[in-house]
Amino acid sequence: SVASTAPVESTANSKIVNQNQLTTLVAPQKNDTIYVTNFFATWCPPCQKELAAVESKLWPEFKDNANFKLLVIGRDHTNEELKTYNTKKNFTFPLYADKGRVVFDSFASSTIPRSYLIDKNGKVIHISIGFNDTEFSELMQKIEEAIK
């Protein structure tokens, strides 16, 4: 049901979603939606660069598209940790807690930041590991192609 995946309000701008709700959100589904699933940690410098790029470039570009969903997942973080983190960062996209790496472990065993682009058929069509501007531009281009 829609109620089971409703985000929990954290700050004026962002939302934190609890873990059992997250598991429902990341389950591959065939629909008209493409997903970018990003894993990060608050202590990871490359993750901070990537999330800054998400905030300044990716989120403004695609957030209003009904066929686009962004899942930014704090690997091994709690809701409270993400709320505290986002009071400093003020990201406007939702943050999702993954304490115990339940969701992360279903995608990978190590290395963040890590992003997956999942197409309308529920298939992973692009993976980026680490962060650099070239890789991020490529992700943006792949989203643009997949969303059509």
Query: Can you tell me the distance from the alpha carbon of 139 to that of 113, in angstroms, rounded to the nearest whole number?
Result: 13
Average pLDDT score over residue span 105-115: 89
Query: Can you tell me the distance from the alpha carbon of 136 to that of 117, in angstroms, rounded to the nearest whole number?
Result: 12
pTM, 2 dp: 0.81
Residue type, 48: Q
pLDDT at position 124 over 60: yes
Question: Which range, of 83-97, 100-114, 131-145, averages the lowest pLDDT?
Answer: 100-114
pLDDT at position 20 over 80: no
pLDDT of residue 57: 97
Residue type, 112: I
Tens of pLDDT, residue by residue over 24-67, are: 455 555 678 899 999 999 999 999 999 999 999 999 999 999 99
Using the Cα atoms of residue 7, residue 99, residue 95 and residue 147 in order, give the sign of their dihedral: negative
DSSP label of 76: T
Residue 87's alpha-carbon distances to 55, 69, 71, 81, 84, in angstroms, are: 15, 23, 19, 10, 5
